[in-house]
Structures are given as structure tokens and as C-alpha cells.
Structure 1
Amino acid sequence: MLSSVMPLHEVNPIATCFSQAACSYDSAAHLQREVGQQLLQLCPSALAVQHWLDLGCGTGYFSQQLAQRYPQAQGCGVDIAQGMLQHAQRLRPYASYLCADAQALPLVSNSVDLIFSSMALQWCDDFAAVLAEAKRVLKPNGIIAFTSVAEGTLYELKHSWQAVDNQPHINQFRRFADYQRLCEASGLKVVHLRCQTLQQHFSSVRELSQNLKQLGAHHVQTGRNNGLTSRQQYMKLSQAYEQQRQPQGLPVTWQMVYAVLQAV
């Protein structure tokens, strides 16, 4: 299944953030668990799986789920963050683990029956390359089932930051229309593709910020001033966000893409 195993040196700031969050991730990943469980339900029950891939496996939570669902299959968890993989190997030794990029997988072509990827592919700049790699490594009739984050995610936080300064504090996520276009052009059969709005609530901006940091999801990919947020800026941010408070707390919206594509 593997053509080569080359560890990535963590010069990627996204990988660094997630590695640093390895020990705190599981305690903060409530939405991530819910989304991943929904994705598991979308995986065809009749699919014969000999080899599966958990792409962007993080701490290996869903690698464990996949190993239990397909006990006769061989599985591999893939992530760019070495810290996450070390955590997975220690706590969830249900699969082999590989440090690699979804945009350039060191895997033999036509070698995988199922690629499962939940809330990871939004961090890949070249989504067309991700789909091309999936098409290459999947066996005929193989499946890639993924969730990813679309434009409109964290818009309440983005709107609140606009009251503070003009710096980009929130990542720019792909539009759902771009996911649709790229999936249709991938050469894979689109079995399922939808975007669902999900919402969380937090007691304060500090709690939200801490949650994103615990997940490793606080890195802004381009254009951000890397200076620390001052006390005055934080107060302005909190005051702006408070204007959006609901009875349940401060709302946080996620635009979640659910997709199942099949190799033909």
C-alpha cells in the first residue's frame, strides 16, 4: 500500500499548531466528533473494504472507529502533524500512521478501498490536487467520504473583529460552489454532496478562543499581522461579539460540507 514513508519536517505552521494541540484536542473536539460520526453513517455499508485511509486523522479517534467497523481490513492514519501522529500511536494503536500531505500521498495507485477524511481538507490549498490524489489511490468503485469547512464558518467572529481592525483574523474558506465545481470536475462520481449549517454556543470570547487553540485551529494562513492581541483590542472584540449573544450564549456558525465520491 505504501510506496515510501518520508517524515515531514514541520516547517508548515498549520502542522505546528496541530502538533502543539495534540494533548488538548480530544477534550475540545465535540463538534468534530459529531460531524465525523455523521460522515461514518454516509459510508456505504455494502462497501467491501480491505484497505482504508483516515486522511487528516489527528489523534486517531476515527482511525479507531474505522478499525472497529472494518476489523478484517488494514488501515492507515495520515496527518501532516507529527505531534498528532505520536499521540495517535500511543493512545490508539489500531492502525499504522503516516506523516504525509493529502495533496501528495506516498501511496501506490489503486490501493485503497475507502478514504475517510473529516474536517481536515479545508487546510489544503490545492483541493483539486487532493481529489486527484484520491482518484489515483482509490481502487475501482472505491469511495472517498469527507467533510470540510466552507465559507461562512466563524462569520460571527469575523464580523466582530471588523470592529477592532482591518487585519484578517479568520481564515478564508472555500465557497460551497467551489466544492461543487471541483468535485464535478474531479473525474469521480458524486454520490452525495451537501452543505449543512451547524451552530455552537460559548459563554465568552475567551472560551471560544481557548477552544480553537485547544483544537489547533487558530492559525490564520495568510495576511495576518502576527502581533499579539492587546488588552484594548480584546475588549473591543468582546464588546462587538456581545451584540450577537443569544440565550444559549455567543453563537459560532460552521458551514459543513458532507461529500461521498466514488471512483469509476
Structure 2
Amino acid sequence: MKLDPQRPDSVLARQRFDRAAQHYDAAAVIQREIGTRLMERLDYIRMQPERLLDLGCGTGLISEQALKRYALTQIVSLDLATSMVDYTRQRLVAESRVAGVCADANALPLQDNSIDMVLSNLMLQWCNHLPQVFAECARVLRPEGLLMFSTLGPDTLHELRDSWRQVDGYAHTSRFEDMHNIGDALLGAGFRDPVVDREVITLTYAEVRGLLADLKGIGANNATVGRSRGLTGKQRWQAFYQAYEQFKQPDGRYPATYEVIYGHAWAPLMKPSAKPERFIPIYAR
């Protein structure tokens, strides 16, 4: 079976996020903004979760905000990258209500029906099989539990993608799922009343190198299976920068577009019985 060249290489992505943990926050401007907007959407949800899963916790931004919002909630901060989990633990070391777990979203090491709310900020775009991730979320959520997330849509970084397309035939950005496919995946996993919407956020840079530095700073530089495996020579870089000139704005700045997709859905009312053999202590630190 031929692999999608724009599919993320999960091993490489994990390695890069591990390396990025210590300087992630300094470059994560868009991640912080979208995370704040995601949390603001909880203002309309009348729910006081007993247990909350921060899926793809990164450096702990969502976990920290959830602690402030929910005074009694116990939080599982889960990420594929060990360094991210360690950073979250250090950031929230004084909080006994937080448990750090390193695990894959495709196989959550949590008991069935053990979580009231799953929050996920800009993690799902790194998953190669979204239906499986949603199925795992549905499994661990209690009946009537809530999944709320943000992810990236197909127009994200189209300037960078289009510019590289004029230079070579390699993949330079991941393939981001359309909001309609995300809605279908939610329904396929048994979620009820899914709501998915989008907005476009554009960052601008004085130089294109600033965008590339930010992507590298958060570990989000090219990790596709179809990436070039050799060094990018000076001539190709110059051709890329020249191609990006077509997007230069009248004020001389260079845009980077992010299509942000937000969604929430409610867990199935009727669910399979729990499987204790998959359980790990929810507070293992």
C-alpha cells in the first residue's frame, strides 16, 4: 500500500516535540491564542467534570487553565512526547490534582467510562487515523461526557506549501483534515450532536525565516513521510524564498495562514462494559 506523502511520520514528530519542550512556549504564539479561544468556549458548557483528560497536553497550557476553571477537577495530562509530559509536571508540580501520562492517543491507557471531559488543543492534526483517536475518546468518556478540541484545516500554511511546490516535488506540510471529514469521524465513533466550525487566523512576519524559526521552535517543522531525506541546498532555499514573494503584503510583511477548526460532541449514551485490564492508575505520576 502506497503511503500518503503528507502523512506525519509519528516517530520523527515525537522526537522533534521531545527536543522542543524547553523552548516551545517562546515560539507557540498561535498555540496559546487558539488554546485560549478553545477554553473560552467552555463558558457555554454547564458542566463540572470530576476527571478531565488534556489530550496532547504539550507544555501544560490547557491543563493549567483547566485547573483555574474547575476547582475540584482531577486532570490527566497526556502526550506522546515524554519531554512534554515532564515539562507539564514541572510546570504544575505543586498541583496534586494533575497526573502526567506519556501515551499514544490511538491507544489510551485509561479505563473505559473513566473521564468526564476530553480537551485537545492542536494535537489531532498529528494523528494519522482520526477515527481511531475519536473511538478511544468515546471509549474513555463516561456517557454524556464531552469532547472539545481544536485542530488545523487544509488551508493551513498554504503559502508555505504553494511556495515549495514551485521548487520541488517533496511534501513540506502535513495533510490537514477537512471539517466535514472531522464531523463524519465523530459520528462514526458514536458521538452525539457534533458541532464543528472554523476560523482563519493569519500571522505576519518581517521575514519568511521568522515563520520557519517558529515552526522549528515548537517542533512542527516538516515531519511528513514524503519529506526530502537530504539536505536542502542554498539554491533550493533561494528558490523557495523567491516563490514566497508572491504572498508579500503591501506593508512588506509575509503572511502565514492558519485554518483553525473547533469542534465539540457528546459521548454515546450506551457504551460497552469496562475492560479493567486496560486500566492504569489515573494518578500515576
TM-score for the superposition, normalised by structure 1: 0.92
**Partners of 1:150 and 1:257 within 8 A in 2:** yes
Matched, 1:169 2:172: yes
**Partners of 1:113 and 1:142 within 8 A in 2:** yes
Match in the other structure for 1:46: 46
1:108, distance to aligned residue in structure 2 (A): 0.5
Match in the other structure for 2:243: 240
Alpha-carbon RMSD across the aligned residues, in angstroms, is 1.4
1:191, distance to aligned residue in structure 2 (A): 4.2
Match in the other structure for 1:202: 205
**Alpha-carbon distance in 1 for matches of 2:252, 2:131:** 39
- The 3 A distance-change label for structure 1 pair 85 and 248 is farther
The runs of at least 4 consecutive aligned structure 1 residues that moved more than 6 Å come to none
1:249, distance to aligned residue in structure 2 (A): 1.4
**Alpha-carbon distance in 1 for matches of 2:71, 2:252:** 41
Match in the other structure for 2:260: 256
**Partners of 1:55 and 1:79 within 8 A in 2:** yes
**Counterpart among 226, 229, 234 of residue 232 in structure 2:** 229
Match in the other structure for 2:89: 89
**Partners of 1:110 and 1:136 within 8 A in 2:** yes
**Partners of 2:206 and 2:254 within 8 A in 1:** yes
1:248, distance to aligned residue in structure 2 (A): 6.3
**Partners of 2:54 and 2:77 within 8 A in 1:** yes
Match in the other structure for 2:65: 65
**Partners of 1:17 and 1:219 within 8 A in 2:** no
Matched, 1:113 2:121: no
1:233 alignment partner AA: R
**Alpha-carbon distance in 1 for matches of 2:135, 2:252:** 42
- The 3 A distance-change label for structure 1 pair 190 and 248 is farther
**Alpha-carbon distance in 1 for matches of 2:187, 2:155:** 22
**Alpha-carbon distance in 2 for matches of 1:219, 1:168:** 8
Structure 1: segments with no counterpart, 5+ residues = 1-10
**Partners of 2:134 and 2:189 within 8 A in 1:** yes
TM-score for the superposition, normalised by structure 2: 0.86
Deviations 1:60-116 (CA, angstroms, capped at 9, x unpaired): 111111111112111110000001111111122231100011111000011111100
Deviations 1:165-186 (CA, angstroms, capped at 9, x unpaired): 1111111112222112212322
Count residues in correspondence: 254
**Partners of 1:42 and 1:260 within 8 A in 2:** no
**Partners of 1:183 and 1:190 within 8 A in 2:** no
Pairs within 5 Å for 1:16-31: 16-31=15-30
**Partners of 2:21 and 2:84 within 8 A in 1:** yes
Match in the other structure for 2:281: none
2:80 alignment partner AA: I
How much identity, in percent, do the aligned residues show? Answer: 34
**Highest RCO, 1 vs 2 (Cα 8 Å, sep ≥ 6):** 2
